[in-house]
Amino acid sequence: MERIYQALNRPLSPPALLAVLVLCFAAIFLLLKLGRRQSRAVSSKFLAEHPDAATFYLYAQDLPQNKGEVECVRGTASRLFDGIDLPQPLVRKGVACHLLPGSVELEATLVSKGRKVSTARFSFEAQPDCSYGAVFSAADKGARLIRLDGAQGNAL
């Protein structure tokens, strides 16, 4: 036992330190790939069950990276996933969820750097195969709902 303690109680040699660093980077890379795969699976599973589902993006136009939370008050929504994980993402940042067509009411919260920035409530009729965006502005803490496809960029 004493030999093990002595072996662990001295600095790592440069090759051992390099090996530890490579293993750490490999573990981080694998965890990121696993997270990406799980995010894609959430989207794919919901679309397989509901091929006419609408897509709802949540993002901030003036923050480089952001996340969000969505509470579905009325209607049906999938779990959140990264917006980039859609087959043809219309928005390359933020999060997204799928919605069943029909009357929807959502409470969306923008989160940046682990803190809530702004919250907005949206009520609208989700059309089949349409994409919508809850576009937040961190500067004025406001949000607006836009339709992203068909009538690209039109506020609802």
Domain membership of residue 58 (yes or no) is: yes
Domain membership of residue 32 (yes or no) is: no
* Residue 83 DSSP class: G
Domain membership of residue 78 (yes or no) is: yes
CA nearest to 78, candidates 50, 116, 108, 120:
50
pLDDT at 41 over 80: no
Domain membership of residue 94 (yes or no) is: yes
Say if strands 102-112 and 54-60 run parallel, antiparallel, or are unpaired: unpaired
User: 112 versus 146: which is more confidently predicted?
Assistant: 146
What's residue 102's pLDDT? 92
Task: State pLDDT tens for residues 106-140.
Answer: 998 888 777 777 888 999 999 998 989 888 876 77
Chain-centre distance for alpha carbon 144: 19
- The single-letter code of the amino acid at 105 is E
Domain count along the chain:
1
Q: Distance of CA 3 to CAs 7, 8, 10, Å?
A: 6, 9, 11
Strand 154-155's sheet: what is its strand order?
A: 81-82, 95-99, 54-60, 131-137, 142-147, 154-155
Contact (Cβ atoms closer than 8 angstroms) between residue 108 and residue 120: yes
Domain membership of residue 99 (yes or no) is: yes
